[in-house]
Structure 1
Amino acid sequence: MNDDTRLRDGPGLAEELQRPVAVDTAPELSRTPGTSVYAALDLGTNNCRLLIACPSDDGFRVVDSFSRIIRLGEGISATGRISEAAIERAVAALSVCRDKIEARKAKRLRLIATEACRAASNADRFRDRVAAETGIALEVIDRETEAALAVIGCSPLVDARGRGAILFDIGGGSTELVRIERDPGEPNTEPRSKAWMSIPLGVVTLAEHFGGRDVTRESYRRMVAEVARHVAPFAAEHGRDLRDMHLLGTSGTVTTLAGIHLNLARYDRRRVDGIWMNGAEITTTIDRLLAMSYQERASNHCISVDRADLVLAGCAILDAIRSAFPLPRLRVADRGLREGMLVEMMREDGALRAF
């Protein structure tokens, strides 16, 4: 993310998304209300991401960021535990985050962990080690909070002329779906969350179960069918009357697809965030990926070796969602939980004038 990224939106959020923020910090990274530098950390099943920002006249200004694939959830579906190698990778990445937070003198923090720490039997021991070695005390959020933060972070990209969107966040260990829409007769209001669900399938868990390196058309169809089975109940209840709505996706899967669709030599957030893709473009891009070997995916600069064995699992999740919610357009969001946390903290402090 660029050092001068501004994110904008309209008026306040739905009441159900404005729950109090519970910040759990170590003494070294104590919370001081009213400070002007904010930090949001998202330790996911696959990635460790940090965003540091200051409020500005038109939203907030990003002053530092960090992202590293650490595969914290690698092997959890088989062993039920975070592996020692994954712990070492996480501690190394979080140490970098700690240094950035201290260098930027950020005092207002939210430091979260998601599915891997919800699922692993040794998650508490892992968090204790992280706190001892890095000074970062992780707050494990539930799936409902994860979905709500994704809505806050991505809602600026809901089509202003439409009624709402089916928002989805494809993670490493889980996938969240939220139906958000504006109230009838109030076209200029911010869309509200009407229903949400979370399924215990993400790119890491799906790839580990079905295989991610060598994906055939048949194994891909099996992945889609497995995800569709989990999505079906939500779609049956909340997938009717989709007029004037669109899909809104936040994840490495959709941003990677957008980069490949644009034939980018290297991934460029400025080109990807907010882009629209229609159904034919998504299908063509996924077909291109299915035709690639593992090595070809690994050598693509929009995928890289870090995602080469995960991207098709993500595409299978997307295809299952597209089938359940047959909407003609997808908007791609290179934003999500971190932006949601920053907005929520700044609004609590009265520091955010526009978003």
Structure 2
Amino acid sequence: MPEAVSHPAVASSRTCPDRSAGTFAAIDLGTNNCRLLVGVPTSSGSFRVLDSYSRVVRLGEGLAAHGLLSEGAMSRALAALQTCAQKLLRRPLRRLLAVTTEACRQARNGPAFVAEARAATGLPIRIISAREEAELAMESCAPLLRAHDRRALLFDIGGGSTEIAWIRSEARGSTELIGYVSLPLGVVTLAERAGLCCGTPEGFRHVVEEVVEELARFDRVHSIAREMRAGGVRLMGTSGTVTTLAGVALALPRYSRPLIDGRVLDTGAADQALRDLFALGPDGLRAHPCIGPERADFVLPGCAIYAAIRKVWPSSSVTVADRGLREGMLLRMMRQELAAPRRAASWQRAAAHPAP
């Protein structure tokens, strides 16, 4: 679906004759965070980051209890989107994509909020489906696959949901989404639950078993565990949960994306990091240099979902990806822009040499 050309920074760039040139921007308004990424293509088929922004907005706060986005949550999200819009006015853009995910999919007033956000900021924000969310995560993480990988199982533990993507990897470097499932369980929804919580051993086990039951149904459809036993399947994770586990396992004094993104982590080390996090308690989580007070409440719920994934799909290692929807959107836009001149040239050749 093409983006609406409403933001002035996008409209002013449409006169640029070189479709491979220019700046691209992606905005991901999630259940917990609002994130912006701005980049330019590189000759290697990737991109160079020019600007980034992330703000905790807690858009899904209270959603599970009331089925609605709260006034406070919408105000925080709108303020963050306005900051993104102001940042984008600083440079002309080739293309812009702006999406929102599970919180707006679930909330009865989600579409109304998105319409308000579009009108207030000029950003062409839209609600994407769970399938498109899984496809974008796949697109961002595909560069981490290797030639011997015939399949990949990618998990993305979000604020309001968890996406699981079952991927076929082709020898020529392309990927195909074989199947996906979106569980309505994320770190925010679990953190806000009443009763059993992930901070106690009993509550943690309860959440693990609940998620295991959901994942087992998906496994029965695609026989993923059997495929993993046969070999050639890469387990990959993209979320704050798995990057935090990697940071703790590596005993980093502070979080460092270059040391984490693409790291192949032994799952035994990740499991030990999970136990270490559980032992820290609330105060220890808030003080940890790889976590901090804003994320402390969401670490153990994410760890419970990760533990369920490990239980259903045992693997000797997990590839950690500090990348997500924003990176997937940038790569998709750049690929589409490069493909457009090729299609035009193909049509021109066909018109010049019609079939007899």
TM-score of Structure 1 vs Structure 2, range by shorter chain: 0.7 to 0.9
Among 314, 330, 333, the alignment partner of 2:302 is 314
Q: Distance in 2 between matches of 1:214 and 1:274?
A: 28
Taking the aligned partners of 1:138 and 1:233, their CA distance within structure 2 comes to 33
Structure 1 residue aligned with 2:166: 179
- Aligned mates of 1:84, 1:316 — CA distance in 2: 30
**Equivalent residue number for residue 6 of structure 2:** 26
Q: Does the CA contact (< 8 Å) of 1:24 and 1:139 recur in 2?
A: no
Which letter maps to 1:22? P
User: Quick one: which of 215, 229, 232 aligns to 2:213?
Assistant: 229
SS in 2 for 1:292: helix
Matched, 1:120 2:104: no
Q: Cα 1:169–1:114, aligned 2, differ >3 Å: closer, same or farther?
A: same
Aligned residue for 2:24? 38
In structure 2, how many angstroms separate the alpha carbons of the residues matched to 1:262 and 1:27?
A: 42
Structure 1 window deviating more from structure 2 (143-152 vs 258-267): it is 258-267
Select which of 52, 75, 78 maps to 1:65. 52
What does 1:1-355 align with in structure 2 at a 5 Å threshold?
21-31=1-11, 32=13, 34=19, 36-58=22-44, 59-183=46-170, 186=171, 188-209=172-193, 215-238=199-222, 239=224, 240-242=226-228, 243-350=231-338
Q: Deviations over 1:254-290 (max 9, x none)?
A: 1111111111121110111011111211110000011
Alpha-carbon offset, residue 213 of structure 1: 7.9
Distance in 2, Cα, partners of 1:311 & 1:89: 22
Kept in 2, the 8 Å contact 1:212–1:310? The answer is no
Asked whether the equivalents of residues 3 and 124 of structure 2 are also in contact (C-alpha less than 8 Å), the reply is no
CA contact (8 A) 2:23 2:39 kept: yes
Backbone CA RMSD of aligned residues:
2.1
Q: Please tell me whether the aligned partners of residues 212 and 313 of structure 1 are also in contact (alpha carbons under 8 angstroms).
A: no
Contact 2:264 2:318 survives alignment (8 Å)? yes
TM-score by length of 1: 0.88
Separation in structure 2 between the aligned mates of residue 83 and residue 213 of structure 1, nearest angstrom: 23
**CA deviation vs aligned residue, 1:100-139 (integer Å, no higher than 9, x gap):** 1111222410000000111111112312332233222311
Q: Secondary structure at the match of 1:92?
A: helix
Deviates more, 1:161-170 or 1:286-295: 161-170
Q: CA deviation at 1:30?
A: 4.1
Give 1:26 shift: 2.8
Work out whether residues 198 and 207 of structure 2, in 8 Å CA contact, stay in contact via their aligned partners in 1: no
Following superposition, the deviation at residue 190 of structure 1 comes to 3.0
Point out where structure 2 has 5 or more consecutive residues left out of the alignment.
341-356
- Please, what TM-score do these two structures have when normalized by structure 2? 0.87
Distance 2:4 2:159 in 1: 23
Query: Aligned residue pairs: how many?
Result: 330
Q: More deviation in 93-102 or 40-49?
A: 93-102
Equivalent in the alignment of 1:18: none
Specify the SS of the correspondent of 1:305.
Answer: coil
| Alpha carbons of structure 1 residues 25 and 301: separation in structure 2 relative to 1, 3 Å | farther
SS in 2 for 1:126: helix
Structure 1 letter corresponding to 2:37: L
CA contact (8 A) 1:45 1:73 kept: yes
8 Å Cα contact 1:52/1:106 also seen in 2: no
Q: Determine helix, strand or coil for the equivalent of 1:318.
A: helix
Are 1:277 and 1:329, in contact at CA under 8 Å, matched by a contact in 2? yes
Q: Secondary structure at the match of 2:338?
A: coil
Task: List gaps (5 residues or longer) in structure 1.
Answer: 1-20
Greater mean alpha carbon deviation, residues 213-222 or residues 26-35: 26-35
Once residues 237 and 253 of structure 1 are traced to their aligned partners in structure 2, the CA distance between those partners, rounded to angstroms, is 26
Structure 1 counterpart of 2:285, one-letter code:
R
Contact 2:198-2:301 within 8 A present in 1 as well: no
1:197-220 deviation digits (Å, cap 9, x = unpaired): 111111111221267987011111
Letter in 2 for 1:54: V
